[in-house]
Amino acid sequence: MIPTIPQSRAFRLVYGGYVALFFLYLALPLTVVAVFAFNDSQFPSLPWEGFTWNWFFGEERPQIGVFHERGILRAVGTSAFVAVCVAVLSVGVGTTNAFLFNRYDFRGKGLLYVLMLLPLVIPGIVLGISILVFSSTLANGVWDLAQMDIQALRPGLLLVILGQFSFITTIATLVISARLQKFDRTLEEAALNLGADRLTAVRTITLPFLAPAMIGAVVVAFLMSFENFNTTLMLVGSDAPLTIAMFDRLKEGSTPLLNSVSLLLMLGSSLLALLVILFQRRP
Amino acid sequence: MRHQSRIAFILLLSPLVLWLGLLILIPHVDMLLISLRERVSFGVYETSLTQYKKALTEPLYLRTFWRTAVMSVLATAITLLIAFPVAYYIAKMAKGRLQQVLFMLCLIPFYVSELVRTFGWMILLRETGIVSNLLQWTGLADQPVELLYTDATMMVGLVYTSMLFMVVPLVTTLESLDDSVIEAGYDLGGNGLSVLREIIIPHAMPGIVSGCIVVFMLSLGNYLTPTMLGGKDSLWFTEMIYNQFIVRSNWELGAAFGFMLLVLSSVIVWGMLRLTGRTLKETMG
């Protein structure tokens, strides 16, 4: 509140109430998902049948918990594998992009920069189908030429990784560029004057400076990949990542198992997010 | 450029070119080419505009296309209206700790998968859901009420899903507005409304534009929310793309739909930037 500006009590009350309602709206869906993970019933809905841990640790039908449900565990593994690949790839390319745009002036730089931003304004489904179409064109071309069937170009994990990489790289580039712009280049020049070669100077001076942004970008990329749905939906093969596996189950009707998976997801991602915030606060 | 620096330049340029070329540009060109062909017989294709003709003459396709566009604009407008007072509260009314906590609370739903958020709304709003039970318990309804599968429910979900992308840019721009400028507005005889119209909103314009662009894009490209919360009649354009590609394997028509969606989103984003005299680089970068 700006103290010098008079506001009536009623106005402040109504305003405060509105903001409180807004946060209730934000919290409501997540809270019910979390609460019904503990409902001792086959359905994540009322009536409340009592408290149970079975949807986490249950071993027998009909209440098999997350930790004993093979399908879900396998999907978590698939998602984690995809997310690690996407995070490493996109932060790697994001770093080289940041150096390119920060250190070099060349013809067409402006155009390339706008192209680099484009993946953010292309709908995820369209990104997915364009990559699907192109990879199958390639696969068909190879078949016509050499009668070879390249499985990697058919829907599956490689395409999922490439599809997510294609837009998460833009975000990694932006995060790392923002930090690189704050770098004092005289530090690097000092290293050069002291006899280091270019590569050593970058490796020992610039990269450590960039590390917080790079770690932040790794976590953001990991989370975005883990949660991605639209692009993945178009490119997925027989190994379904977690979001797709959950979507398939949700369509068939839900049990509180989905709530317990969701609750674990919420806890996992908030923990990761918190870690990043703490890490970046460190001087 | 010196020799060594030239090699470094090429090494840094090649990942960017490979990424944009192989994963963005060529795939989209390929998609355009596929959408421009027609299957004459097995394995034989001809270049033609048939797919676009089909898309533009079939009433169902055309109706879904415009409905998706209008509903996305509506969702963007509603998100802006709901988010603006909240963002102003966080940026200017709340102070210190409270400000930080409220801002963090806005970020949390973003870290949770969209699937989980949609699932939450399903638990709340379905026939056996919480809200239905609450209505019966308070006597406002005497039988279970189905609140899912309507346009209004879908709108609630769309607004919820993209709220964060509106709140964050608004808070950031509003925080950069100096309190003394608002005070000066009042000192010069302005009232709440005129200060809002002539000082606060113009200052927040960059945040409003980038928030609106992102929210619009997310709504237009959303698949989960319309599928899970919307009704049988509330088909979304992304669902039609999915159906053509995966269910019917009619890639030609699906690619044409994809291209129409891409053109629609580009035109609206370009229009918004044009209207406010900003560039993509300023807004996103």
Report CB contact under 8 Å: B119, A258.
yes
Chunked mean pLDDT (size 10), chain A, 283 residues: 68 89 90 83 71 72 73 90 95 93 88 90 91 91 84 87 94 91 86 84 87 89 90 89 89 80 87 78 56
The winner for highest mean pLDDT among A56-70, B20-34, B185-199 is B20-34
Cross-chain residue pair A250–B269, CB shorter than 8 Å: no
Q: Measured between alpha carbons, how far is residue A158 from residues A238, A261, B15, B114 in Å?
A: 12, 25, 18, 23
Per DSSP, the residues of A73-137 read HHHHHHHHHHHHHHHHHHHHHHHHHHHHHHH---TTHHHHHHHHHGGGGS-HHHHHHHHHHHHHH
Residue of B nearest to A254 (CA): B119
- A166-189 burial: b if 16+ Cβ within 10 Å, else e: bbbbbbbbbbbbebbeeeeeeebe
Distance from CA of A225 to the nearest CA of B (A): 10
CATH numeric code, A77-281: 1.10.3720.10
Query: CB of A15 within 8 Å of any CB in chain B?
Result: yes
What is the pLDDT at residue A283?
47
B124–A118: do the CB atoms touch at under 8 Å?
Answer: no
Neighbours of B82 (CB within 10 A): 19
What's the sign of the alpha-carbon dihedral A221, A227, A230, A236? Answer: positive
pLDDT of amino acid A250: 85
In sequence order, the 6+-apart residues with CB closer than 8 A to the CB of A280 are A212, A216
- Strands B37-41 and B44-47 come out as antiparallel
- Taking CA–CA distances from A247, the nearest residue in chain B reads B115
**Both tokens of residue A114?**
């706008």
Distance, CA of A54 to chain centre: 29
Residues of A in contact with B163 (CB under 8 A): 26
Q: What are the helix (H) ranges across chain B?
A: 3-18, 26-35, 50-57, 59-88, 96-111, 114-125, 130-137, 151-175, 179-187, 192-195, 201-220, 224-229, 237-242, 251-276, 280-284
The whole-number average pLDDT for the span B48-67 is 86
User: Within 10 A of A226 (CB to CB), how many other CB atoms are there?
Assistant: 24
**Distance in angstroms (rounded) separating the CA atoms of residues B31 and A123:** 14
Asked whether the predicted pLDDT for residue B246 surpasses 90, the reply is: no
**Cβ contact (<8 Å) for A123 and B261?**
yes
Chain A residue numbers with beta carbons less than 8 Å from the beta carbon of B215 are: none
Q: Which residue has the tokens 């997540």?
A: A30
Contact A36 B82 (CB under 8 A): no
Is the CB of residue A100 less than 8 Å away from at least one CB of chain B?
yes
Chosen for mutation from B18, B112, B118, B237 (greatest number of chain A CBs closer than 10 Å) is: B112
Find which of A134, A137, A175 to mutate to test the B interface (most B CBs within 10 Å of its CB). A134
Q: What is the pLDDT of residue A1?
A: 52
Note whether B129 contacts A45, CB cutoff 8 Å: yes
Q: Please, which residues bridge with residue B46 across strands?
A: B38
Asked if A67 and A57 touch (Cβ cutoff 8 Å), the reply is yes
Residue A130 is nearest to which of B27, B128, B223, comparing CB atoms? B27
| 3-class secondary-structure state, position B45 | strand
Q: Chain B: residue nearest A220 by CA? A: B111
Residue B190 burial (10 A CB sphere; 0-12, 13-18, 19+): middle
User: Is residue A139 packed enough to be buried (19+ CB in 10 Å), middle (13-18) or exposed (0-12)?
Assistant: middle
Structure tokens at A30: 């997540």
Q: Quick one: angle between helices A157-180 and A207-227, nearest 10?
A: 140
Return the closest-CA partner of residue A70 out of A253, A240, A269, A247: A240
pLDDT in tens, B112-154: 888 888 888 888 888 777 787 788 788 777 777 777 788 888 8
> Contact B126/B147 with Cβ under 8 angstroms?
yes
Contacts of A103 in chain B (CB under 8 A): 12
**Token duo for residue B190:** 């302005």
B111–A273: do the CB atoms touch at under 8 Å?
yes
pTM attached to this predicted model:
0.88
pLDDT of residue A271: 86
Domain boundaries, chain A: 77-281
Domain boundaries, chain B: 47-284
The sign of the dihedral angle between the CA atoms of A145, A147, A149, A154 is: positive
Q: How many whole angstroms separate alpha carbon B75 and alpha carbon B83?
A: 12
Q: Do B115 and A246 touch (CB under 8 A)?
A: yes
Instruction: State the complex-level ipTM.
Output: 0.86
pLDDT band, very low/low/confident/very high, at B107 (cuts 50, 70, 90)? confident
Contact A116/B9, CB-based, under 8 Å? no
Domain B47-284 -> CATH class: mainly alpha
> Chain A, 226-265: which have a CB under 8 Å from a chain B CB?
226-227, 229-230, 233-234, 243, 246-247, 250, 254, 258-259, 262, 265
In the predicted model, what is the mean pLDDT of residues B83-110?
84
Bridge partners (DSSP) of residue B37 are B47
Looking at residue A58, what is its pLDDT? 67
Chain B within 8 Å of A198 (Cβ-Cβ)?
yes
A278 in contact with chain B, both atoms CB, cutoff 8 A: no
> What is the maximum span of chain B, computed from C-alpha positions, in angstroms?
82
From chain B, the residues in CB contact with A38 under 8 A are: none
- Partner-chain contact A100 B242, CB within 8 Å: no
| A118 contacts B24? CB cut-off 8 A | yes
User: 3-class SS at B225?
Assistant: helix
